[in-house]
Amino acid sequence: MTQPAPAGIVRPKGLRHRLMRILLFAVLGTFCLYYLLPLFIMMATSLKSLDEIRTGTLVSLPRQITFDAWLKAWGSACVGVRCDGLKPYMWNSVLMVVPAVAISTALGAVNGYALTKWRFPGANTIFALMLFGAFIPFQVVLLPMARTLGVLGLAGSVTGLILVHTVYGLAFTTLFFRNFFMGVSDGIVQAAKIDGAGFFGIFSQIVLPMALPAIVVTVIWQFTQIWNDFLFGVAFTVGDSNPVTVALNNVVNTSTGVKEYNVDMAAAIIAGLPTLLVYVLAGKYFVRGLAAGAVKG
Amino acid sequence: MASIRLDKVWKKFGTTEVIKGIDMSIREGEFIVLVGPSGCGKSTLLNLIAGLETLSGGEIFIGSDLVNDIPPKDRDIAMVFQSYALYPTKSVRDNMNFGMVTRHVPQSEQTVALAEVAGLLHIETLLDRKPGQLSGGQRQRVAMGRALVRKPAVFLFDEPLSNLDAKLRIEMRTEIKRLHQRLGKTIVYVTHDQIEAMTLASRIAVMDNGHIRQFGSPEDIYERPVDLFVAGFVGSPSMNLFKGRVVEQSGLRLQVDDPAGAVHFPIPRNLHDAARPYLGRELILGLRPEAMVREGAHRPGSETFSFDRTIDVVEPTGPDTLLVFTLGGIEAIGRVDPQDKISVGTKFRFDVDMGRAKMFDPVTGLHLASVH
């Protein structure tokens, strides 16, 4: 894709317009600060020692940078009675998020493909019902889901959490892929049918390679949702199988000893880093994917 | 190569009937064009032959096989789509190979078939490109190449040229005709462009509203339209259809009333018998634009008739000039030589060869001669 050359903007000249532009940029700058300040304070605080936090002000830069808080948050902060830091819980989250994202994305892709390219009677009804699932609040499914997990013998396990996230994510992943495939010409699928490919042959060889932007959007969306989820994590896992969000809460809300703000801040940043990383790595596809279908080309 | 036979073919989408009992017999090696306005069912009929839609009733035979329940891949057909429908993530080579790969054609045969077709269509240099890197005309060639490599018995074309610009469309039209002459395969070709239909077809099926109105050679369709629909659809500019009343006035004539004075067209002799029962009633006279020329432009025939009209609009097309005038409440068009200098608002005297005139029943729409 080539970027078009900037076309330039025709705008009126004069003192009044210049002042308005300065005002405009001042407002925009203020908003930027407003959004960046929390991140700055978190970063700065996490790099200070506890003494410095007690004596200095909230917005001051650290006088002496120390990574002790980061090391502690990662490796030795106490989560409940266990003092191994966030490390084991990060691993729990990874174990949960990777299969949950992979399975829900794969199933969403097949659903979207079947709903748009192999239209069957009632396809729209089924899609409407699936879409309804996207609007069910988490709280509503907590009890039935707990019962289901109990019956399946998956209560309190990472596997159980994977199942919950996969099922809950299907509505969204199906929606993403269905909308993407709506924009794919039916002719391509018909041509592949005549060329002799079957349902899964067309899916894997023709349709899925075209769906890269939709895959990226879905993966980022699902990764962010599942990684950041707290409610399902706290409801369906216990102690050692907690995801990192629950562990973070336990670190921050610990009621014993001194409040270690630097460790809390470092832990919060650590817990949020993976989603940031995924967005940075795949972000350009994300924006492209969201606009997919809007413009032909 | 194969013949195709449709036997009382019906297609309904829900309660909407799209194809209403079509019978059609296509001989081996024929080039059949299905033509009609949008929504007439021509693409649906093609999809039924391809097996991309299921039949609601009737039978379809390809060769001697009943194919009602045979999926598209086993019908020994290939199809070229209006949107080209190339696989965007595959190279041209893989696009063309895909059908052979799914059918497990040996690698060596694939290579030979690909090289042959690529040479035929002059796309050897494009084989490693992706469809996105091709121009419209090149995509069209690749789409045809993909159909050709498999050497199917029947080719189906669904408006393959309608996305091309005018010049390219004419080039590709010639190329398709040349391919058909060379390969001699059975082709069913859908278009809404009646010039494409006329130039390509061995036989044309004019479709309207789920029916075939007329199925015949291009000449038949043009010179002997069976009804008002076919007469009005085929030809560009289309046939002028004047409504008038049959009167007896030194022979049988059709009186077309007009504020600028009625015109009494003599009814062609070969239609006298058919027209006589209509005496005092209405008939519709069909005159093609090229049947109306400047007075004296041709040697007067036995049925030449002259009349004048004031010209409203002059449209030079290059080879001909179209003169627009009003008669009997319709905008009529005459096609004259560009040398016939004429300015808007002046009177122009037309010669009409009534021997080429068509007469239609205004109620049934049928051509008069075919009533009997």
Average per-residue pLDDT for chain A: 88
pLDDT at B51: 94
Q: Is A293 left (phi over 0), alpha (psi -120 to 50) or beta?
A: left
Q: CB neighbours of B80 closer than 8 A, spacing ≥ 6?
A: B143, B144, B146, B147, B155, B156, B157, B158, B160
Instruction: Report the DSSP beta bridge partners of residue B352.
Output: B292, B305
Largest CA distance in chain A: 76
Please give the Cα distance from B22 to B151 (Å, whole number): 28
Tell me whether residues A190 and B77 touch, CB distance under 8 A: no
- pLDDT greater than 50 at residue A4: yes
pLDDT at B371: 44
SS3 percent helix, strand, coil of chain A, rounded to 5, is 70, 0, 25
CA B144 to each of CA A96, B159, B303: distance values in angstroms, whole numbers, following the listed order: 49, 12, 48
Tell me whether residues B73 and A197 touch, CB distance under 8 A: yes
pLDDT at A291: 56
Pairing of strands B65-66, B321-327: unpaired
HEC letters along B277-297: HHCCCEEEEEECHHHEEECCC
pLDDT tens string A56-107: 888 888 888 889 889 999 988 887 778 888 999 999 999 999 999 999 999 9
Tell me whether residues A191 and B82 touch, CB distance under 8 A: no
- CB B82, CB B162: distance < 8 Å: yes
Q: What are the b/e assignments for B6-42, b being 16+ CB within 10 Å?
A: beebbbeeeeeebbbbbebebeeebbbbbbbeeebbb
CA B322 to each of CA B260, B313, B330, B343: distance values in angstroms, whole numbers, following the listed order: 21, 8, 15, 12
Tens of pLDDT along chain B (372 residues) come to 689 999 999 999 989 999 999 999 999 999 999 999 998 999 999 999 999 999 999 999 999 999 999 999 999 999 999 888 999 999 999 999 999 999 999 999 999 999 999 998 899 999 999 998 998 889 999 999 999 998 999 999 999 998 888 888 999 999 999 999 998 999 999 999 889 999 999 999 999 999 999 999 999 999 999 999 999 999 889 999 999 999 998 889 999 999 989 999 999 888 888 999 999 999 999 999 999 988 888 777 778 999 999 999 999 999 999 999 999 999 999 999 988 878 899 999 999 989 889 999 999 999 987 544
Tell me whether residues B73 and A187 touch, CB distance under 8 A: no
Both tokens of residue B323? 């003169």
B82 touches A: beta carbon within 8 Å: yes
Q: Is B19 left (phi over 0), alpha (psi -120 to 50) or beta?
A: beta
B79 touches A: beta carbon within 8 Å: yes
- CB A83, CB A99: distance < 8 Å: no
- pLDDT greater than 60 at residue A187: yes
- Residue B81, classed as helix, strand or coil, is coil
| Segment (H or E) for A190 | helix A186-194
B99 touches A: beta carbon within 8 Å: yes
Please give the Cα distance from A231 to A139 (Å, whole number): 8
Please give the Cα distance from B143 to B176 (Å, whole number): 12
Pairing of strands B330-336, B57-62: unpaired
Pairing of strands B65-66, B240-248: unpaired
- CB B208, CB B245: distance < 8 Å: no
Find, among B359, B226, B216, B333, the residue nearest to B281 by Cα. B359
Please give the Cα distance from A156 to A235 (Å, whole number): 8
Contacts of B99 in chain A (CB under 8 A): 194-196
A205 touches B: beta carbon within 8 Å: yes
Find, among A55, A93, A71, A31, the residue nearest to A226 by Cα. A93
pLDDT at A290: 58
- The domain ranges of chain A are 15-66, 87-294
Of B84, B88, B99, the CB nearest to A195: B99
CA A120 to each of CA A168, B12, B206, B264, B302: distance values in angstroms, whole numbers, following the listed order: 24, 15, 32, 60, 64
CA B218 to each of CA B27, B197, B201: distance values in angstroms, whole numbers, following the listed order: 16, 8, 7
How confident is the model over A241-252, as a mean pLDDT? 90
Query: In which band, very low, low, confident or very high, does the pLDDT at A203 lie, cut at 50, 70 and 90?
Result: very high
Tell me whether residues A210 and B88 touch, CB distance under 8 A: yes
Which residues of chain A from 41 to 60 reach within 8 Å of chain B, CB to CB?
none
pTM: 0.82
B61 touches A: beta carbon within 8 Å: no
**B71, B75, B80, B83 alpha-carbon torsion, rounded to 10°:** 0
- Topology given in CATH for the domain delimited by A87-294: MetI-like fold (1.10.3720)
pLDDT at B1: 62
Can you tell me which residue has the tokens 């010039």? B195
Angle (CA) B235-B241-B246 rounded to 5° is 145
How confident is the model over A228-241, as a mean pLDDT? 89
CA A45 to each of CA A2, A12, A250, A271, B94: distance values in angstroms, whole numbers, following the listed order: 42, 46, 19, 16, 57
B137 touches A: beta carbon within 8 Å: no
- CB B113, CB A230: distance < 8 Å: no
- pLDDT greater than 50 at residue A1: no
- pLDDT greater than 60 at residue A41: yes
- Strands (E) in chain B, as ranges, are 4-13, 16-26, 31-35, 57-62, 65-66, 77-80, 154-158, 186-191, 203-208, 211-216, 240-248, 252-256, 263-266, 282-287, 292-294, 304-316, 321-327, 330-336, 347-353, 358-360
> Radius of gyration over alpha carbons of chain B, in Å?
25
Tell me whether residues A187 and B99 touch, CB distance under 8 A: no
Full strand arrangement of the beta sheet holding B358-360: B263-266, B252-256, B240-248, B282-287, B358-360
How near does any CA of chain A get to the CA of B270, in Å? Answer: 50
Tell me whether residues A187 and B88 touch, CB distance under 8 A: no
- CB B180, CB B187: distance < 8 Å: yes
Tell me whether residues A191 and B102 touch, CB distance under 8 A: no
Please give the Cα distance from A157 to A164 (Å, whole number): 11
B13 touches A: beta carbon within 8 Å: no
Burial of B280 (0-12, 13-18, 19+ CB in 10 A): exposed
Give which of B49, B98, B150, B157 to mutate to test A binding, by max A Cβ within 10 Å: B98
Give the residue on A whose Cα is nearest the Cα of B147. Answer: A195
A137 touches B: beta carbon within 8 Å: no
A191 touches B: beta carbon within 8 Å: yes
Both tokens of residue B101? 């790969």
